[in-house]
A and B are shown apart, each in its own frame.
Chain A
Amino acid sequence: MVRFLIQPPCLRRWFSDMDGTLVGANGQTPGRDAISLAAIGVSKCFGELQALDDVSMQVDAGSFHCLLGENGAGKSTLVKCLVGYYRPDQGNFLIDGREYEVRNPRDAQHLGIGMVYQHFTLAPGLTVAENLLLARGDLPFVLDWKREKTGLSEFMAQMPFRLELGAQVADLAAGEKQKLEILKQLYLRRRLLILDEPTSVLTPAEADEVLGMLHGMTRAGQLTVLMITHKFREVTAYGDVVTVLRRGRPAGTGRVNSTSVEQMAEMMVGTHIHVAVERSQGRAPDAEPGPVRLQIEALQAENDRGTPAIRQFALQVRAGEMVGVAGVSGNGQKELIEVLLGQRAAISGNILVDGEPYQATRVQMRQHGVYSLPEEPLKNACVPGMSVAENMALRNFDLPPVSLGWETGWHVRPAQLNRRARELVEMFGVRPADPSLPIASLSGGNVQRAVLARELAQPVRLLIVANPVFGLDFAATETIHRRLAEARNGGAAILLVSEDLDELLELSDRILVMSEGVIVYEVTADSAERAVIGRYMAGHETHDKELVC
């Protein structure tokens, strides 16, 4: 079977130098230039759902092209068609002005199209070097490690950011893993890179570093970048052209420097909406913080590998106050949340709620009104196999009116359980509005809404929140931020741990910076400066590992 309809000379050259010694993927090799891409009338249906409807777009060679859109707007479907995971029902793609049939991801790879996913596709048990070689996929039976190492070192030396080749991927922080994903694509000499929300696991500084570097490569004409994102800041800072999809159709396209954020947002959601400005959701200035609700003293905990993740950690959250914890992912935030939620045992230290020792038992949660909104709610806060209604009852299935009988209730009453779920679904706009569906069948935003509904329907006095809008669309983000601000204004104490500095600046009253398991900086939101926070997030020990070979 013939793989390509046409095999252009540049591809043949590329293949021929693949079996030679690997040289760096920078401008040294002629003919390795950025490629252009055009989609023409692409349509794709999944059953009843028209995911893409006659989408056309043009991505110029060497441009940094942003693809914006709400969850479910068809961005992922479009790029999956492009890289061969799906076959479009109609339409086709032009690469450098020629039509190619991309039947599977391998075809896309041969055309020089690479993709970096939202979630990592690395082998955690292997080293950086092994992951890079693995990606090549054409390895001989016996590896000449000496030669490969030399090649890899040379490659790494030419890269704008570096990773230690011998480091275990499992030991890398999220930001470093994402860098490795991108390095992998550059190592394979991709000329068109598709990024699916690449910065959702990165700090602003890391995001700036990675995107800035990719931006530089587009300027040098080595690479074309097509990036799916939710973050307007990244679009305005790095994008050349932005295309907005809405419900599977192109909602508009334009040069970034002549399109305002408001215009982009309007294209995305279809109506004129209020774009959040910094501190728009802060506490009313006259409100006084109340008594201390949550107090953590000298807390120590280990991560899954048994090394210290939280060291002598202390903080306080008062009633009516939202305290934001900023930090590069992998600095103990995950472990902190798990300890507070009762999912991980602390080594030592005290957690006091309302001045009393707190062990995250069900009784204590009720007594003190401690509820939470963990990250990845399907994994941390839901039972995937149970229905939406059952998941919404996790907090109160053992209380009247849901259960009835001897003592605190013996018999769970499905009718009551469903009635309550229907109310919550209505109140919080969970879609589809059918509480009998398994919760795993809902989209991420709707799972988050369902969990939010369950938690906020309780008498909340202390709310523990982690990355609440990770990967959610614009509208869902707005809803969740508004609900959190309302809960705080209603007198609840909120601990908000987030990797999104914009979110923290927008919502919290006080910002703490967590680095290497301790709080290294504290500032009130009014006097917070992005640059200062960023410096503390980076920590005194640099996270950029030097190249050692």
Chain B
Amino acid sequence: MSLLPLVAALFVTAVLFALFVASQGYPAFDALALVGKGAFGSTFAWQNTLSRAAPIMLTALCVALPARAGLLIIGGEGALALGGLAAAMVPVALAGWPVLLVQGLMALAGFVVGGGWIALSGWLRYKRGVNETISSLLLAYIGAAVFNFLVEGILRDPASLNKPSTAPIGDRYVIGAIPGMDVHWGLVWGVLVCIGAWWLMRHTVFGFAVGVAGGNPRAAQMVGLPVGRLMLMACFLGGGAAGLAGMLEVAAVHGDANADLMAGYGYAGILVSFAARHHPLGVMAGALLVGGIGASGSLLQRHLDLPDAATLVLQGMLFVSLLAFETLNRKGAQRV
């Protein structure tokens, strides 16, 4: 496993971004320096980066786990939104219950709803032969529409005037900051889930079976593995991780479910999973990188007056050059 494609992709991305910024009439080198500074340049930057990395590493698992089963799922955004919405309903229904129990049930609700959403794509693929990449992407749009329909409809808190939201989960149930840092506990959740996913996929009978089913479904069938069920399970777990990301965003950041939940973390997870070659531990490093890019946005805006979307351009460039270098690398390997 070589890091060369990643390094090359980062370099090319930096060059492309500098050219892009320069073509808009902004100082290119200052912009690059500000990205570095805004992501990792200070304690404040680090905390901002880490807060963003927490949901991204979870949505990245939504790509990485199905990828082990040979499926390319890119609809994590829908699972995140619906998972977050389901989680936001729990404290409303169970107001007054013990904090840890409610938070646990919120996580469970987010996990199950997000997992079920992505499992739909797996099911369509296995039963009906529908391409899972396309169906998961389309389901993400449907998920967003369902989310808006509910949040602006029956689940809307009448008190939320300008910005339709569900009823607040209440201060009691908010997930707080890690002591001594301005980063919420969601980061720890994310790291633990990544480690758990790595152990599950690389060291257990289940993970091995999923790897066989993804590596060659015909061979898996020949040795009697339930390929469809393994695909479904991998999709469910991946979607569950994205749903958990939605729950953390609700419980630690927003305090209710509203349209801000769909901030693109689901799509950033695709980039991170590819950068990590779908390795559950590599995903954590990738999430730092992409979280950092996101965190640098406000600095770019303040110092250079660059629009916030500049960070999205940077992410997109990174994704495209990463895919290009990975493909080149694989071709090279085949030639030998």
**Interface residues, chain A, CB within 8 Å of chain B?**
341-343, 360-365, 372, 374, 379-386, 390, 393-395, 397-398, 403, 408-412
**Chain B 192-207 against A: per-residue CB contact (8 Å), 1 yes, 0 no?**
0000000000011111
From the candidates B204, B207, B208, B218, name the one contacting A343 in the complex (CB within 8 A): B218
* A386/B211 in contact, CB under 8 A: yes
Determine whether B225 belongs to the interface, using a CB cutoff of 8 Å to chain A: yes
- Residue of B at shortest CB range from A408? B205
- Residues of A with C-beta under 8 A to B207: 412
Chain B interface residue count, Cβ-Cβ cutoff 8 angstroms: 20
Within 8 A of A (CB), among B151-207: 203-207
- Residues of B with C-beta under 8 A to A380: 218-219, 222
* A410/B224 in contact, CB under 8 A: no
Q: What are 29 of the A-B contact pairs (CB < 8 Å)? A: A342-B221, A342-B222, A343-B218, A361-B226, A362-B223, A362-B224, A363-B224, A365-B223, A365-B224, A379-B216, A380-B219, A381-B218, A381-B219, A381-B222, A382-B216, A383-B215, A383-B219, A383-B220, A386-B211, A386-B215, A393-B208, A394-B219, A394-B223, A398-B208, A398-B209, A410-B204, A411-B205, A412-B207, A412-B208
From the candidates A342, A360, A383, A408, name the one contacting B211 in the complex (CB within 8 A): A383
Given contacts A397-B208, A411-B204, contact A384 B223 (CB under 8 A): no
Given contacts A397-B205, A398-B205, A411-B204, contact A343 B221 (CB under 8 A): yes
Q: How far is the CA of A381 from the CA of B219 in the complex (A)?
A: 4
Determine whether B113 belongs to the interface, using a CB cutoff of 8 Å to chain A: no
Q: How far is the CA of A513 from the CA of B94 in the complex (A)?
A: 70
Residue from the set B204, B212, B218, B219 with the largest chain A CB neighbour count within 10 Å = B219
From the candidates A342, A385, A390, A409, name the one contacting B224 in the complex (CB within 8 A): A342
- Residues of A with C-beta under 8 A to B218: 343, 379-381
Q: Majority SS of interface residues in chain A?
A: loop
- Residue of A at shortest CB range from B204? A410
| Supplied contacts A362-B224, A386-B212, A397-B209, 13 more A-B pairs, CB within 8 Å | A341-B222, A343-B218, A360-B221, A361-B226, A365-B223, A374-B222, A379-B216, A383-B215, A393-B208, A398-B209, A410-B205, A411-B203, A412-B203
Q: How far is the CA of A398 from the CA of B211 in the complex (A)?
A: 13
- Residues of A with C-beta under 8 A to B223: 362, 365, 394-395
* A372/B222 in contact, CB under 8 A: yes
* B205/A409 in contact, CB under 8 A: yes
- Residues of B with C-beta under 8 A to A398: 205, 208-209
- Residues of B with C-beta under 8 A to A374: 222
Shortest CB–CB separation between residue B326 and chain A, in angstroms? 15
From the candidates B203, B219, B224, name the one contacting A361 in the complex (CB within 8 A): B224
- Residues of B with C-beta under 8 A to A384: 215-216
User: What are the 7 closest A-B residue pairs judged by CB atoms, nearest first?
Assistant: A362-B224, A383-B215, A398-B205, A383-B216, A365-B224, A343-B221, A394-B223
- Residues of B with C-beta under 8 A to A343: 218, 221-222
- Residue of A at shortest CB range from B336? A47
Q: How far is the CA of A186 from the CA of B252 in the complex (A)?
A: 74
Shortest CB–CB separation between residue B219 and chain A, in angstroms? 5
Shortest CB–CB separation between residue B37 and chain A, in angstroms? 40
Given contacts A343-B222, A361-B224, A362-B224, contact A412 B204 (CB under 8 A): yes
- Residues of A with C-beta under 8 A to B211: 383, 386
Q: How far is the CA of A515 from the CA of B223 in the complex (A)?
A: 28
Q: How far is the CA of A398 from the CA of B203 in the complex (A)?
A: 11
* A403/B221 in contact, CB under 8 A: no
- Residues of A with C-beta under 8 A to B203: 411-412
- Residues of A with C-beta under 8 A to B221: 341-343, 360
**Chain B 108-123 against A: per-residue CB contact (8 Å), 1 yes, 0 no?**
0000000000000000
Shortest CB–CB separation between residue A433 and chain B, in angstroms? 22
Q: How far is the CA of A125 from the CA of B181 in the complex (A)?
A: 63
From the candidates A360, A364, A394, A411, name the one contacting B212 in the complex (CB within 8 A): A394
Q: How far is the CA of A13 from the CA of B226 in the complex (A)?
A: 63
Q: How far is the CA of A139 from the CA of B216 in the complex (A)?
A: 40
- Residue of B at shortest CB range from A398? B205
Q: How far is the CA of A394 from the CA of B206 in the complex (A)?
A: 12
